[in-house]
């Protein structure tokens, strides 16, 4: 009898331990999922920040400089997983949809390359500054000759977007595009240029014209005629007859002429990128909202229930103590 009782007690004791261990594991998992994601940034859609400045504003196969607006920065430093990249893509490519590895990833039917400096080094995977946080600096002089020679070999005539982008990666995987700066250029053929035989220049967006027309209004005043009647009074031998009087106002017509006002809105150079409301070039921010995921409250509830079950098992497994009767 004791042998069976001991076996039963050991079974319930093991079951209690298993429930307790599972409850502790659930509580730990609940705490990690609740607090572990607080420092992970919530990634928003890519944001166009501003236009870049190219100097000179036109050229050929030679070198040029890319300058960002003062204070342009990524949302975090290199230590936080941020990098800045360069790109040259066909005008048909949506920069906000680009992905990056060591360079912008290819897009079917379009030219998509990273920029190269005058020494033939690819300008990519650069770390933004730690102080001020995210500041982009140290952009080298860019060479079209080196860029084309190192990538596509030739640069077809057409329009292109050129600029700098910030990416973020928190672990293994493809970096996500965060912010980007760009302008648009037009590339034409130039037999005098060597070795690429091209000429590029900043491309202005088309001007939009708004016409406001003033309608013609005609105000006409109709003619009015007033006539006095003849009056005869004859108490005496004298007859007085007033003559007929006619007062007539002339017809007056007032006509305003038609006026057309043309208002022409001209978009400035380097504004070829899509408009973005309330975007500032010097904004630096990091979102530290908690990452979304599965709810942790049910997990904690299950853990508490398992603890209760384990306690009940212990109580069930505990042998009953029978007090001896009081003997007087």
pLDDT digits (tens, 9 = 90+) for 247-277: 444 444 444 444 444 444 444 444 444 444 4
SS3 193: coil
Q: Give the model's confidence band at 282: pLDDT under 50 very low, under 70 low, under 90 confident, else very high.
A: very low
Q: How far apart are CA 226 and CA 248, in angstroms?
A: 6
> And the tokens for 318?
């505990």
Does this model's pTM top 0.85? My answer is no
Instruction: Please count the other Cβ atoms lying within 10 Å of the Cβ belonging to residue 93.
Output: 19
pLDDT (tens digit per residue) in 12-22: 677 767 767 77
Give the pLDDT of residue 177. Answer: 92
Is residue 73 classed exposed, middle or buried when 0-12, 13-18 and 19+ CB atoms within 10 A define those classes? Answer: buried
pLDDT beyond 90 at 146? yes
Give the pLDDT of residue 326. Answer: 64
DSSP codes, 211-251: EEEEPP-EEEE---EEEPPP--B-SSS--B-PPP-EEEPPP
Q: How far apart are CA 53 and CA 63, in angstroms?
A: 14
Give the pLDDT of residue 30. Answer: 57
Query: Helices then strands (H, E): number in the chain?
Result: 3, 16
70 upstream amide cis, omega within 30 of 0 = no
Domain limits, the chain: 2-38+292-317, 47-208
Contact criterion met (CB below 8 Å) for 190 and 60: yes
Lowest mean pLDDT across 98-102, 188-192, 277-281: 277-281
Q: What is the mean pLDDT of residues 203-216?
A: 48
pLDDT (tens digit per residue) in 161-186: 999 999 998 767 778 899 999 999 99
The DSSP output letter for 328 is -
């Amino acid at each position: 009898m004791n042998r069976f009782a001991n076996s039963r007690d050991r079974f319930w004791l093991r079951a209690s331990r298993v429930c307790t261990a599972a409850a502790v594991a659930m509580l730990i998992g609940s705490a990690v999922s609740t607090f572990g994601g607080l420092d992970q940034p919530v990634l928003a859609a890519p944001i166009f920040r501003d236009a870049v400045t190219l100097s000179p504003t036109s050229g050929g196969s030679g070198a040029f400089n890319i300058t960002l607006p003062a204070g342009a920065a990524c949302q975090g430093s290199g230590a936080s997983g941020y990098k800045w990249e360069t790109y040259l893509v066909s005008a048909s490519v949506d920069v906000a949809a680009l992905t990056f590895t060591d360079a912008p990833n290819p897009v079917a039917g379009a030219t998509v390359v990273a920029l190269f400096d005058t020494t033939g080094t690819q300008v990519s995977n650069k770390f933004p500054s730690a102080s001020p946080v995210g500041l982009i600096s140290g952009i080298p002089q860019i060479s079209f000759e080196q860029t084309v020679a190192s990538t596509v070999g030739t640069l077809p005539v057409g329009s292109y977007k050129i600029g700098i982008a910030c990416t973020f990666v928190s672990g293994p995987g493809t970096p996500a595009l965060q912010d980007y700066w760009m302008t648009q250029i037009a590339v034409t053929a130039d037999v005098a240029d060597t070795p690429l035989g091209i000429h590029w220049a900043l491309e202005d967006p088309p001007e939009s014209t708004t016409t406001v027309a003033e309608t013609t209004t005609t105000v006409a005043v109709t003619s009015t005629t007033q006539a006095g009647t003849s009056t005869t009074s004859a108490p005496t031998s004298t007859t007085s007859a007033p003559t007929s009087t006619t007062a007539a106002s002339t017809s007056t017509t007032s006509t305003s002429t038609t006026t057309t006002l043309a208002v022409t809105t001209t978009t400035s150079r380097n504004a070829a990128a899509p408009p973005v409301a309330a975007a500032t070039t010097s904004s630096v921010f990091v979102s530290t909202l908690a990452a979304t995921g599965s709810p942790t409250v049910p997990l904690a509830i299950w853990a508490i229930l398992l603890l209760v079950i384990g306690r009940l098992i212990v109580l069930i497994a505990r042998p009953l103590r029978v007090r001896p009767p009081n003997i007087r």
